[in-house]
Amino acid sequence: MEGTSFEEVVSEVFSTQMPPPWWLVVATGVAALVLVSTGGPWRLARNVVTIAHEGGHALVALVSGRQLTGIRLHSDTSGVTVSRGRPDGIGMIFTVFAGYVTPSLVGLVGVVFLLGGRITALLWVSVLLLAAMLLMIRNLYGVVSVVGTGALVFVISWFTPAEVQAAFAYFFTWFMLAAGVRPVFELQSQRRRQPSPQSDADQLHRLTGMPGTLWVMVFGAVNLASLALGVWLLWTSADPVL
Q: How confident is the model at residue 20 (pLDDT cuts 50, 70, 90)?
A: confident
- Tell me what pLDDT residue 11 has: 62
The predicted-structure confidence for 109-125, as pLDDT tens digits, reads as follows 999 999 999 999 999 99
The predicted-structure confidence for 75-91, as pLDDT tens digits, reads as follows 999 999 999 999 899 99
pTM for the full predicted model? 0.92
- Tell me what pLDDT residue 242 has: 43
Q: Is the pLDDT of residue 231 over 80?
A: yes
- Tell me what pLDDT residue 1 has: 56
Which has the closest alpha carbon to 181: 230, 120, 124, 241? 230
Share of the chain above pLDDT 70, in %: 92
Strands 67-73 and 79-84: antiparallel
Q: How far apart are CA 241 and CA 239, in angstroms?
A: 5
Q: Considering the chain, what is the average pLDDT of its residues?
A: 92
Categorise residue 239: left if φ over 0, alpha if ψ from -120 to 50, beta otherwise: beta
Q: How far apart are CA 113 and CA 104, in angstroms?
A: 15
DSSP string, 185-232: HHHHHHHHHS--TTSHHHHHHHHH-S-HHHHHHHHHHHHHHHHHHHHH
The predicted-structure confidence for 174-207, as pLDDT tens digits, reads as follows 999 999 999 999 999 999 988 778 899 999 999 9
Measured at the CA of 208, the angle between CA 206 and CA 214, to 5 degrees, comes to: 90
The predicted-structure confidence for 54-78, as pLDDT tens digits, reads as follows 999 999 999 999 999 999 999 999 9
